[in-house]
Amino acid sequence: MNKMYLHWAKNLISVVYSKLLLLFGISHSKSVIPKGEYCYSFNLKDVAIISCPYYKPLGKELNGCKYLGVITDDSIFYDMCKICNENLD
């Protein structure tokens, strides 16, 4: 089996598990969500892009958010625009 498919499967299980936790009232920390309108931030010191740990690619057309427990094919989320509305400052 292709390594990429295993990565996507692991991400899918992770998002579904997070949704189950949310249904039982267990939520994730907001502190690790990057500030701004996107699911990533820039580190100018190291010249690196730091993506949100809750953003999960799930294949060619699907993406997930562990924080919300959402799986979507929305092109806006594919562009890593936030759907959680956390840390928008």
Residues pairing with 63 in the sheet: 57, 72
Supply the pTM of this predicted model: 0.82
Q: Rounded to whole angstroms, how far apart are CA atoms 8 and 34?
A: 22
Kindly give the confidence (pLDDT) of every residue in the chain, 89 residues in length, as a single tens digit, with 9 standing for 90 and above. 577 678 788 888 898 999 999 999 998 899 999 999 999 998 888 888 889 999 998 887 889 999 999 999 988 888 889 988 899 87
Using alpha carbons, select from 85, 89, 86, 83 the residue that is nearest to residue 15.
Answer: 83
